[in-house]
Amino acid sequence: MMPGDVLNTDVLVIGSGPAGSAAAAACAQKGLRVVLIERELFPRSHPGETLHPGVEPLLKQLGAIEPVLAAGFLRHTGNWVQWEAQKHFVPFGEDDSGAWLGFQAWRADFDNILLNQARASGVEVLQPCQALRLLVDGCKVVGVETSQGTFRASIVVDATGGHHWLARQLGLQINYHSPRLIAYYGYATGECPARDDAPAIVADSEGWTWTAKVQPQLYQWTRLSLVGKQVPKDWLPDEFHGLKIHGKMHAADVTWRIVSQPAGSGYFMVGDAAMVLDPASSHGVLKAIMSGIMAGHLIAAELLGNLTPAQATQHYCQWIHNWFQHDVENLSKLYAMLPN
């Protein structure tokens, strides 16, 4: 496709993080014609490596479980937690086949696997290709102008992450449910035996620190200050003492927020594009994949005539708002346990 060309498709998905690849694959599995555009070349780095075992059935549904298992990501049986009480181990649980295992999925590889799975499901992928401008006819979203030409689509799916590209293009309200929260994160190389069996979250009077082994000899930390304190550039958590800082420290806005209307005429928002919580909620990737699959089912139902557009969007908006509300209540209870 060349700049200036116009292409018609059933579904255009913008962004190929876990939410975008899941939505694209779910739509393609239902026989829809799907184009997925991603502005970055893969593999690209991204935070968010710790995945709860609950992600496995979703990966199975997408047909991605085998390549994920074959990737050899580190696995763990639970997390160390030091919140208001002594540090203790919280296991994920077990069934007849043994302990449930979470993943430390290196996101550059994990996101690439999901993208390849979307391709294998019949999705046409354009990369690098950036969404530039939303096309709207009356009050219906009808397509997107991109760096590689114009796409007209029956449904546009926004999976661009926490910058809320489509919501900002449409001028939709974003509702905030916490004070401004910035998560700082970085990596360190070396050996930290204390962190080799499982990740840990440790709260203190000003916030919390998350530490995890993400690859052999590579460790990740995330620090969230609840009092708005910035983390110095050369900071490392105490337990990483002796490790070497690897790459730059980064910051991400993790203020709790939700787009007022996460689906509407001609569009759906999935993953962080629809709602964001801070990483203590611990399942951003799972939520991204699940919302992608849910949107895929509803889009197919709408385009194949099994639901009216109003029914599909209403159902999705209700589902997203309920999930967000549930997570906000749980996170609020968690933070209420902290002394300050």
The residue ranges that bind ligand FAD (CB under 6 A) are 14-20, 37-40, 46-51, 130-131, 159-161, 165, 183, 185, 222, 252, 254, 271-273, 279, 283-286, 288
- Asked whether 122 and 30 are in contact (CB, 8 A), the reply is no
Nearer to ligand FAD, 131 or 300 (CB): 131
**Whole-number minimum distance, CB 14 to ligand FAD, in Å?**
5
| CA 202/CA 81 separation, integer angstroms | 6
Nearer to ligand FAD, 14 or 123 (CB): 14
Nearer to ligand FAD, 105 or 307 (CB): 105
**Whole-number minimum distance, CB 18 to ligand FAD, in Å?**
5
- Asked whether 76 and 197 are in contact (CB, 8 A), the reply is yes
Nearer to ligand FAD, 165 or 303 (CB): 165
| CA 242/CA 134 separation, integer angstroms | 49
Nearer to ligand FAD, 69 or 304 (CB): 69
**Whole-number minimum distance, CB 101 to ligand FAD, in Å?**
15
**Whole-number minimum distance, CB 138 to ligand FAD, in Å?**
23
**Whole-number minimum distance, CB 96 to ligand FAD, in Å?**
27
Nearer to ligand FAD, 123 or 285 (CB): 285
Nearer to ligand FAD, 30 or 164 (CB): 164
**Whole-number minimum distance, CB 140 to ligand FAD, in Å?**
20
Among candidates 135, 128, 163, which has minimal Cα distance to 151?
A: 135
**Whole-number minimum distance, CB 306 to ligand FAD, in Å?**
26
Could you tell me which residues come within 8 angstroms of residue 95 by beta carbon, excluding any fewer than 6 positions away?
A: none
